[in-house]
């Protein structure tokens, strides 16, 4: 059990899709009006086809950076971000400049989510080398350090090399400076020991994810349950040391259904992953129940794990809004 001070709840709304600009703008405005703390995208690029089908990942039909910019433009208070930007999908210095610009233009509303990348089939479909996990996590550590330097004052002299893939920013000052100083809150996402220890050392927000070492969605679900989440929090604590209490813990409640029959829903969903009803009900990435029941469960999980920031997706957001109102006072 965590001993960190109890943080107030925050809730994110994550969306992958929009059929038009009007729909996307309406989603962002609705999320802000409903009391969500953040409006979030992911960073994926494959449309329908065999490459995406093999990963078990849903389609994201919009690109992250312009979607974040449009959402920021039509809102005024909600945080804008991604869970999380993949360091290998664009030059790291370009990524940092884009994020700093978004923070500047949104008047300091960016949450800078960043990760090592994990969806192997997406890398292969786009022709991006998929390095071993250790190399990707080491590169993530370099990119985070470089990002902090680029968002600070002065000329940057940063260069590293990871198995032939370098992270470089040499002989120039990073511009623009973000509105939030010294940098926007950095969210690092992951589900394995080394990346979560890194997150403990470097992040302001740690996004607890499945163990996605398989490189696709599915196998990580049954091995990322309640006890595994205790272990993940312990890994964050190992990396954080004395700064653990300053870190916000976030999780994606990917399997969320507001219902009067939680056991039946959890049993059906758990069966897809070879899990019992009880284990599915307790799964930290799942929420099943009435508004009252979900609120009680979130309170229990905050006490056990220290998780105070919970993100839900499109399918659950409207039904979940009363939970947001109840636990945030909005």
pLDDT of 91-118, one tens digit each? 999 999 999 999 999 999 999 999 999 9
Confirm whether 1 is domain-assigned. Answer: no
Over residues 206-225, the mean pLDDT reads 91
Confirm whether 138 is domain-assigned. Answer: yes
Least confident of 129-133, 214-218, 268-272, 273-277: 214-218
pLDDT of residue 220 exceeding 70: yes
Over residues 140-162, the mean pLDDT reads 94
- Locate 305 and state its tokens: 């794990």
Model confidence at 162, pLDDT cuts 50, 70, 90, reads low
Q: 291-305 and 226-240 helices cross at what angle (nearest 10)?
A: 40
pLDDT of residue 281 exceeding 50: yes
pLDDT of residue 5: 63
Please give the Cα distance from 296 to 88 (Å, whole number).
39
CATH number, domain with residue 153: 3.20.20.30
**How, if at all, do strands 110-115 and 186-190 pair?**
parallel
Confirm whether 62 is domain-assigned. Answer: yes
Confirm whether 18 is domain-assigned. Answer: yes
**For the chain, what is the radius of gyration of the CA atoms?**
19
pLDDT of residue 150: 98
* Length of the chain counted residue by residue: 330
pLDDT of residue 292: 98
Q: What range defines the domain where residue 274 resides?
A: 10-328
- Locate 134 and state its tokens: 């250790």
pLDDT of residue 163: 60
pLDDT digits (tens, 9 = 90+) for 247-261: 999 999 999 999 999
Please give the Cα distance from 7 to 267 (Å, whole number).
31
pLDDT digits (tens, 9 = 90+) for 29-86: 999 999 999 999 999 999 999 999 999 999 999 999 999 999 999 999 999 999 999 9
Confirm whether 234 is domain-assigned. Answer: yes
Do residues 186 and 204 touch, judged by C-beta distance below 8 A?
yes
Confirm whether 273 is domain-assigned. Answer: yes
Q: What is the mean pLDDT of the chain?
A: 95
pLDDT of residue 3: 47
Do residues 124 and 137 touch, judged by C-beta distance below 8 A?
no
Count of domains for the chain: 1
pLDDT of residue 4 exceeding 70: no
The dihedral over CA atoms of 173, 43, 249, 303, expressed in degrees to the nearest 10, equals 170
3-state secondary structure the chain: CCCCCCCCCEEEEECCCCCCHHHHHHHHHHHHHCCCCEEEECCCCCCCCHHHHCCCCCCCCCCHHHHHHHHHHCCCCCEEEECCEECCCCCHHHHHHHHHHHHHHCCCCEEEEEECCCCHHHHHHHCCCCCCHHHHHHHHHHHHHHHHHHCCCCEEEEEEEECCEEEEEEEEECCCCCCCCCCCCEEEEECCHHHHHHHHHHCCEEEECCCCCCCCCCCCCCCCCHHHHHHHHHHHHHHHHHHHHHCEEEEECCEEEECCCHHHHHHHHHHHCCCCHHHHHHCCCEEEECHHHHHHHHHHHHHHHCEEEEEEEHHHHHHHHHHHHHHHCC
With a pLDDT cut of 90, the percent of the chain lying above it is 92
Over residues 2-7, the mean pLDDT reads 64
Q: Which long-range contacts link 172-176 to residues 24+ away (Cβ below 8 Å)?
A: 174/93, 174/96, 174/97, 174/100, 174/149, 174/150, 175/97, 175/100, 176/97, 176/100, 176/101, 176/104
Confirm whether 3 is domain-assigned. Answer: no
Confirm whether 5 is domain-assigned. Answer: no
pLDDT of residue 161: 73
Instruction: List Cα–Cα distances, 181 to 130, 166, 186, 199, 253, in angstroms.
Output: 33, 27, 12, 19, 30
pLDDT digits (tens, 9 = 90+) for 35-47: 999 999 999 999 9
pLDDT of residue 213: 86
Please give the Cα distance from 112 to 285 (Å, whole number).
22
């Amino acid at each position: 059990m965590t001993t960190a001070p109890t943080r107030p709840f925050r809730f994110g709304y994550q969306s992958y899709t929009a059929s038009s600009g009007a729909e996307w703008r309406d989603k962002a405005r609705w999320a802000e009006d409903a009391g969500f703390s953040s409006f979030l995208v992911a960073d994926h690029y494959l449309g329908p086809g065999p490459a995406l089908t093999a990963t078990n990942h849903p389609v994201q039909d919009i690109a992250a950076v312009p979607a974040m910019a449009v959402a920021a433009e039509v809102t005024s208070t909600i945080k804008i971000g991604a869970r999380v930007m993949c360091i290998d999908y664009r030059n790291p210095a370009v990524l940092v400049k884009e994020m700093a610009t978004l923070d500047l233009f949104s008047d300091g509303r960016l949450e800078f989510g960043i990760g090592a990348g994990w969806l192997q089939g997406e890398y292969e479909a786009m022709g991006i080398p998929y390095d071993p996990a250790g190399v990707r996590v080491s590169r993530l550590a370099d990119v985070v350090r470089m990002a902090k330097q680029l968002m600070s004052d002065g000329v940057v002299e940063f260069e590293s090399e990871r198995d032939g893939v370098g992270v470089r920013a040499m002989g120039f000052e990073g511009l623009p400076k973000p509105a939030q100083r010294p940098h926007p809150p950095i969210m690092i996402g992951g589900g394995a020991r080394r990346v979560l220890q890194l997150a403990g050392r470097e992040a302001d927000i740690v996004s607890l994810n499945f163990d996605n070492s398989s490189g696709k969605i599915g196998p990580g679900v049954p091995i990322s349950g309640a006890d595994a989440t205790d272990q993940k929090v312990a890994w964050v604590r190992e990396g954080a040391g004395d700064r653990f209490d300053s870190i916000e813990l976030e999780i994606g409640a990917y399997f969320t259904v507001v219902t009067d029959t939680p056991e039946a829903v959890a049993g059906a969903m758990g069966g897809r992953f070879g899990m019992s009803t009880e284990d599915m009900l307790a799964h930290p990435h799942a929420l099943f129940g009435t508004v009252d029941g979900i609120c009680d469960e979130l309170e229990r999980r905050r006490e056990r794990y220290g998780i105070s920031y919970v993100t839900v997706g499109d399918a659950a957001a409207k039904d979940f809004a009363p939970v947001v109102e109840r636990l945030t006072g909005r």
